[in-house]
Amino acid sequence: MEKWVVSAKRADFQAIAEKFGIDQVTARLIRNRDIVGEPEIRQYLYGTKEDFYDPHLLKDADKLVEILMSKIKEQKKIRIIGDYDIDGVNASYILLRGLRHCHANADVEIPDRMKDGYGINEHLIRYAYEEGVDTILTCDNGIAAVEQTKLAKSLGMTILITDHHEVQEEVPPADAVVNPRQADCPYPFKHLCGAAVAYKVICCLYEAYGIPKEETEEFLEFAGFATVGDVMDLIGENRILVKEGLKRLNHTQNVGMASLIRACGLEEKEIKSYHIGFVLGPCINAGGRLDTAKRSLNLLLQKDRAKADVMAAELKTLNDERKDMTQTGAEEAIEWIEKEGRSQDKVLVVYLPDCHESLAGIIAGRIRERYNKPVFVLTDSIDGVKGSGRSIEAYSMFEEMSKCKELYTKYGGHPMAAGLSLPKENVEKFRTFLNEHTTLTEEDFIPKITIDVPMPIGYVTEHLIEELSVLEPFGKGNEKPLFAEKNLNILSMRILGKNRNTLKMQVRSQHGTVMDALYFGDIEQILTYIMQKYGESETEKCFQGRENAVTLSFIYYPSVNEYRGRKSLQMIISHYC
């Protein structure tokens, strides 16, 4: 059961359309994304790298560069400490490549997800000190490392922090801290990812060395890749970063990235944000999840194509393993929920002792999608039980779990996701507390689908579909538009694909427009829905292409199908009723 609502944001759509030479539908979509005002609309439609904000506006950026230049001059050993995810790997790559181009004596260390956990820690600092490292430069982490920074300073080390996460109550006493989220940072855009902050730092460093600005552009594809992969809002400067990054990614000069694109079978396709989020990015992440993120970093640093091909194939295999393990974990979780009668719980707490701890968050996301409830997946770890949570809009996860913080040994997060560690004996107490103290109602569990524009399929043209591409790249904060039409007659339907995972229909609107429609979701479920509503006989008539009584309402996105040189309009169905 879903609740369909239409976005009802107001504006003079005709005036916007005339001003920018676009369709009123496109004008409405832009307004739905809260892009208002002529400069903002112009940047949204036509923004380029010339619209990037001045990197010198980042607090401490110039100070950090000045320190780096001094260390480079003295050939002091600089160690970059990144993170094991897409953002951390790309940020580490950008800083290492940039520093070495300036002849720095630099290397990289990335924490082990299982052994070290997130971010810089005491072990990594002492290890760096023992190896004669003078300066630690963090990326995508460090803003919460107060005690670790104090330790590094006590050992006489220089510590430089670049990060993008929320600033805690106390800022680490580092020699320089570059993070746009600092309250006193004048940088206008606060939503950069860690790799984008690293890119900005290298822009300042290159400028200080007199290196042409154009040479920083090689890093745009990695900053854009990380922006999508770290699920940052694709608004403002981020959207331009991703647009510019995708241009370069489609013609990448990076040997390792090109190998990964081939390994994923994308060499003949135009790479879009979707491919970063769901194909390429998970392969980069797989190293840090199941082995070491250094695999992914080494792929990006590799210059030999044959070696890069082997490394890329290994990462793809790792990701395939990760997908199988995730599927198994999700099935186990659902089986446990149903068997134990926990589907009625308002907050689902699933304990899977043997689950790989790096997959807990992904599995929690899958369970949330199925039940549309807040979910925590817990698993055994070296020092007790560890877990990750994924939430729904109505439940501020970090705020709610903070009400029983005495149950944890460690926790953190934000409204939509969280992580925690706790003793095994507290698992049941944790589940009980969250469910007894929640204010969630049954209404909160009904998924809400927001339709951008109720648009008759007769309005769809090839020109409109082409124009909609100016709204790309799609992603969080700039979602793919959703259109809808009611009461479409199903003229015919058939199941396609060797796995029988595509339903192709021919539909006719109330105004007589006929169009093909494709549904890639749960085929068995949609057929069961039709059968229950209209009966087996009418459903069979649909498969036979005979006149029938079946009418459905669809939420869709229009596209152009090209087959043997012929083009036709079609609709891609996302929801039905």
Q: How confident is the model at residue 66 (pLDDT cuts 50, 70, 90)?
A: very high
Backbone angle region of 132, left / alpha / beta, with phi > 0 → left and psi within -120 to 50 → alpha? left
Q: How confident is the model at residue 30 (pLDDT cuts 50, 70, 90)?
A: very high
Q: Which two tokens stand for residue 230?
A: 């770290």
Residue in 443, 444, 390, 445 with CA at minimum distance from that of residue 415: 390
Q: Which two tokens stand for residue 184?
A: 């006193």
β-sheet bridge partners, residue 508: 489, 514
| Cβ atoms 84, 108 nearer than 8 A | no
pLDDT at 115 over 80: no
Backbone angle region of 479, left / alpha / beta, with phi > 0 → left and psi within -120 to 50 → alpha? beta
Would you call 421 helix, strand, or coil by DSSP? Answer: strand
Q: What is the pLDDT of residue 357?
A: 85
Scan for tokens 């107060």, then name that residue.
Answer: 146
**421-to-379, 426, 433 alpha-carbon distances in Å:** 10, 10, 16
Lowest-pLDDT range, 111-115, 131-135, 232-236?
111-115
Q: What is the mean pLDDT of the chain?
A: 94
Q: What is the DSSP string of 228-280?
A: HHTT----HHHHHHHHHHHHHHTT---HHHHHHHHHTT-TTS---HHHIIIII
CA distance 76 to 300: 25
In the CATH hierarchy, which fold is given to the domain comprising 3-7+449-576? OB fold (Dihydrolipoamide Acetyltransferase, E2P) (2.40.50)
How confident is the model over 166-207, as pLDDT tens digits? 888 899 999 999 999 999 999 999 999 999 999 999 999 999
CA distance 84 to 312: 17
Q: How confident is the model at residue 343 (pLDDT cuts 50, 70, 90)?
A: very high
Backbone angle region of 21, left / alpha / beta, with phi > 0 → left and psi within -120 to 50 → alpha? left
Scan for tokens 């009980």, then name that residue.
Answer: 432
CA distance 571 to 556: 6
| Cβ atoms 62, 198 nearer than 8 A | no
Q: How confident is the model at residue 489 (pLDDT cuts 50, 70, 90)?
A: very high
Task: Say how many C-beta atoms besides its own lie within 10 A of residue 98's C-beta.
Answer: 24
Q: What is the CATH number of domain 55-213?
A: 3.90.1640.30
pLDDT at 280 over 90: yes
Q: Which two tokens stand for residue 2?
A: 């879903």
Give the CA angle between residues 450, 456, 458 to the nearest 5°. 150
Q: pTM of this prediction? A: 0.91
pLDDT at 554 over 90: yes
pLDDT at 116 over 80: no
Give the CA angle between residues 447, 448, 449 to the nearest 5°. 115
CB-neighbour burial class of residue 280 (10 A; exposed 0-12, middle 13-18, buried 19+): buried
Domain boundaries, the chain: 3-7+449-576, 55-213, 340-445
Residue range 340-445 in CATH 3.10.310.30: yes
